[in-house]
């Protein structure tokens, strides 16, 4: 099973460039405007519920990045609630100035997240981490700064998820202080314990998954820590934090890569002239002889086309007299060139009897040079955290038909990026990458996208 880790400093690459869902109720960047005069505990619960609602809405809309970013803010809210456990029934005005500032920071970050009023997500993530550090924890109180994986690949169908928490866990190695993770009504003790990291091995089947939807599960981690001593023995407290983990759909969707190549070719078509006539009612009309100018008949090709001289034929529509050389009428020869179709006829006049008369059309083939275009569709087999590259032949063009797992469809013919798929072209190579995206992929994509926007904004498909 593929599992993707997201830390707060790295989340600009793996979780960000996002548009956060707005949830009614959070309007300004301080505690009072966010929760009013509510007690600290109730206010933090409200902030947490607003963030969880945003995560659920994001998942329902297939917005993985939004869902995962919300999980980071949710941790900060929970840590604040743990810190002020003994003051939860108080209102903020009863706290010290330092404590009020800490809660104002948490509310401000939640509000910025909800209303998309942050400068950029990288800055917001830095602020969230700083706020957790600034909370007035006791020396031994556990702090969760980030965690991973924040989203899971449903493939393969079985396996173990290794969930890792980064932070400060002073008592994790002590006997009787083993952290426990609970998910889906099952408990998993920590398999990795250091003062900076906790790790849990969990059966992947414990996380809900749907074949065509992003699914959010919450895992609760209970972390014991030493509090004040009772007589000669320390008392054990427990800090709990809930982690939002998204399970990806089975596949990103289907991708059809349509490759169009060109080659030189020739188009041909039959041309038929209007009806013509040659009649020797009063005198001979001979090809190369008497009245020779009346014996030559022409038909011109269409504009841009050329005559194939050897294709010229005579199509008789009516005649009088015997046909054949030296008889009453006959075709002497064709005289076509590339620019004109031509026949030269002879007809005999007889003072008594039947003179040669013939009505006819000139039939020939005309041709022109063209460019043949051939489109070959390719189904791109790609899973999560994978890349596929197609090398373009010289002069080829391409278009992608992207049917996302949630039914949304895109036609892509240039640099493209959403939460799940990124497309870029470097030289004659088109690369398709699925989430998550490495730093190199992100830098290359962002640079290419900015260049494309400057040169041809209309060439980028709308989301």
Mean pLDDT, range 450-458, rounded to an integer: 42
CA dihedral 43, 46, 50, 52 (to 10 degrees): 110
Instruction: Label residues 342-365 b or e (16+ Cβ within 10 Å = b).
Output: bbbbbbbbeeeeebbbbebbbbbb
**Residue 13 or 409, more confident:** 409
Mean pLDDT of the 293-299 span: 97
- In the predicted model, is pLDDT for residue 371 greater than 70? yes
33-44 pLDDT per residue, tens: 888 889 999 999
Omega before 156 within 30 of 0, i.e. cis: yes
429: confidence class by pLDDT, cuts 50, 70, 90: very high
CA distance linking residue 263 with residue 256, whole number of Å:
23
Calculate what percentage of the chain has a pLDDT beyond 70: 81
Q: Is residue 404 part of a domain?
A: yes
Across the range 176-181, mean pLDDT stands at 95
pLDDT surpasses 80 at 435:
no
351 and 271 share one domain? yes
Q: Give the SS3 label for residue 54.
A: helix
Q: Are residues 196 and 225 in the same domain?
A: yes
Instruction: Give the CATH number of the domain where residue 296 resides.
Output: 2.60.40
Residues 352 and 279 in one domain: yes
Distance CA 218, CA 198 (A): 17
HEC profile for 309-374? HHHCEEEEEEEECCECCCCCEEEEEECCCCCCEEEEEEECCCCCCCCCEEEEEEEEEEEEEEEEEE
pLDDT in tens, 309-320: 999 999 999 999
| pLDDT category of residue 245 using cuts at 50, 70 and 90 | confident
Does residue 204 have a cis bond before it (omega within 30 degrees)?
Answer: no
Domain termination site, one of 370, 385, 411: 370
pLDDT in tens, 381-395: 998 889 999 999 999
By residue range, what is the domain housing residue 380? 254-260+373-453
Are the beta carbons of 402 and 410 closer than 8 angstroms?
yes
Residue 26 resides in a domain: no
pLDDT (0 to 100) of residue 22:
32
Return the pLDDT at 432: 96
Q: What is the pLDDT of residue 282?
A: 92
Strongest mean pLDDT among 65-79, 143-157, 230-244, 318-332:
318-332
Phi, psi dihedrals of residue 111, rounded to the nearest 5°: -65, -45
Residue 15 DSSP class: T
Q: Specify the pLDDT at position 229.
A: 61
Per-residue pLDDT tens digits for 65-81:
677 677 778 888 888 88
Query: Is 360 inside any structural domain?
Result: yes
154 in the same domain as 185: yes
Identify the band that residue 266 occupies on the pLDDT scale cut at 50, 70 and 90: very high
Mean pLDDT confidence for 296-324: 97
Q: Same domain, yes or no, for 127 and 153?
A: no
If asked whether residues 382 and 365 sit together in one domain, one would say no
Q: Which of 207, 224, 250 is the last residue of a domain?
A: 250
Instruction: Give residue 188's pLDDT band: very low, low, confident or very high (50, 70, 90).
Output: very high
14 lies in a domain?
no
Domains held by the chain: number? 4
Asked if residue 463 belongs to a domain, the reply is no
436/321: higher pLDDT: 321
Considering only CA atoms, which of 462, 457, 374 is closest in space to residue 412? Answer: 462
Residues 145 and 244 in one domain: yes
Instruction: Name the band, by pLDDT with cuts 50, 70 and 90, for residue 12.
Output: very low
Average pLDDT, the chain: 82
> Average pLDDT of 444-460?
42
Both 363 and 391 in one domain: the answer is: no
Residue 337 resides in a domain: yes
Mean pLDDT across the stretch 357-374? Answer: 97
Residue 18 lies in a domain: no
Among 20-24, 246-250, 425-429, the range scoring the smallest mean pLDDT is 20-24
Q: How much is the pLDDT for 384?
A: 87
Give me the pLDDT at residue 232, please.
63
pLDDT at 440: 38
Residue 16: pLDDT band by 50, 70, 90 thresholds?
Answer: very low
Residue 231 pLDDT greater than 70, yes or no = no
More confident residue, 221 or 461: 221
- Give yes or no for residue 5 having a pLDDT over 90: no
Distance CA 26, CA 130 (A): 21
**Of the residues 110, 137, 164, the one at which a domain ends:** 137
Q: Indicate whether 3 belongs to any domain.
A: no
CATH no. for residue 184? Answer: 2.60.40.10
272 and 237 co-located in one domain: no
Confidence of residue 457 (pLDDT cuts 50, 70, 90): very low
> In sequence order, what are the residues at sequence separation of 6 or more whose Cβ sits closer than 8 angstroms to the Cβ of residue 400?
255, 256, 257, 258, 410, 411, 412, 413, 416, 423, 432
Q: How far is CA 69 from CA 63, 149, 201, 452, in A?
A: 10, 13, 23, 28
Q: Is 161 exposed, middle or buried (0-12, 13-18, 19+ CB in 10 A)?
A: buried
Backbone angles phi, psi at 246, to 5 degrees: -100, 130
Query: Model confidence at 121, in pLDDT bands (50, 70, 90)?
Result: low
Whether residue 245 is found in the same domain as residue 152: yes
17 conformational bin, left if phi > 0, alpha if psi -120 to 50, beta if neither: left
354 and 382 in one domain?
Answer: no
**396 and 410 within one domain:** yes
pLDDT band at 31 (very low <50, low <70, confident <90, very high): confident
- The predicted model scores a pTM of 0.59
Q: In the predicted model, is pLDDT for residue 456 greater than 60? A: no
Q: What is the pLDDT of residue 322?
A: 95
Give the pLDDT score at 118: 64
- For the cut 60, the answer to whether the pLDDT of residue 461 exceeds it is no
Q: What is the pLDDT of residue 441?
A: 43
Smallest CA-to-CA distance from 125 within 154, 145, 102, 153 is with 145
- pLDDT value of position 120: 66
């Amino acid at each position: 099973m593929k599992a993707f880790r997201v830390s707060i400093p790295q989340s600009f690459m793996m979780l960000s460039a996002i548009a956060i869902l707005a949830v009614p109720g959070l309007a300004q960047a301080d505690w009072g405007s966010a929760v009013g005069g509510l007690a600290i505990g109730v206010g933090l619960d409200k902030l947490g519920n607003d963030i969880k609602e945003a995560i659920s809405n994001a998942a329902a809309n297939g917005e993985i990045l939004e869902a995962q970013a919300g999980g980071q803010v949710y941790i900060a809210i929970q840590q604040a609630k743990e810190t002020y456990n003994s003051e939860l029934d108080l209102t903020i005005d009863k706290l010290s100035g330092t404590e009020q500032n800490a809660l104002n920071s948490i509310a401000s970050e939640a509000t910025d997240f909800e209303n998309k009023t942050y400068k950029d997500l990288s800055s917001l993530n830095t602020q969230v981490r700083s706020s957790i550090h600034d909370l007035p924890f006791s020396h031994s109180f556990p702090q969760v700064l980030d965690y991973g994986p924040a989203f899971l690949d449903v493939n393969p169908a079985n396996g173990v998820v290794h969930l890792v928490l980064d932070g400060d866990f002073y008592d994790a190695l002590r006997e009787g202080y083993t952290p426990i993770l609970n998910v889906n009504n099952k408990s998993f003790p920590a398999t990795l314990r250091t003062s900076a990291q906790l790790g849990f091995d969990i059966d992947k089947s414990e996380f809900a998954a749907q074949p065509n939807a992003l699914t959010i599960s919450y895992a609760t981690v209970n972390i014991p820590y030493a509090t004040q001593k009772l007589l000669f023995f320390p008392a054990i407290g427990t800090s709990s934090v809930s982690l939002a983990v998204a399970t990806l759909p089975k596949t990103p969707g289907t991708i059809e890569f349509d490759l169009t190549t060109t080659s030189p070719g020739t188009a041909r078509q039959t041309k038929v002239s209007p009806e013509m006539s040659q009649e020797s009612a009063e005198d001979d009309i001979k090809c190369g002889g008497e009245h020779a100018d009346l014996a030559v008949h022409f038909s011109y090709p269409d504009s841009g086309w050329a005559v194939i001289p050897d294709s010229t034929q005579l199509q008789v529509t009516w005649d009088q007299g015997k046909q054949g050389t030296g008889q009453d009428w006959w075709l002497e020869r064709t005289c076509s060139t590339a620019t004109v179709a031509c026949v030269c006829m002879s007809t005999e006049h007889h003072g008594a009897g039947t003179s040669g008369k013939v009505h006819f059309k000139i039939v020939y083939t005309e041709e022109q040079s063209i460019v043949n275009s051939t489109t070959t569709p390719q189904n791109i087999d790609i899973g999560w955290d994978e890349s596929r590259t197609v090398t373009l032949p010289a002069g080829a063009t391409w278009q992608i038909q992207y049917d996302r797992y949630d039914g949304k469809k895109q036609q892509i013919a240039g640099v493209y990026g959403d939460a799940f798929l990124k497309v870029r072209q470097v030289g004659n190579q088109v690369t398709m990458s699925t989430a998550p995206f490495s730093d190199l992929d992100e830098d290359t994509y962002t640079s290419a996208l900015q260049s494309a926007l400057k040169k041809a904004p209309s060439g980028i498909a709308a989301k």
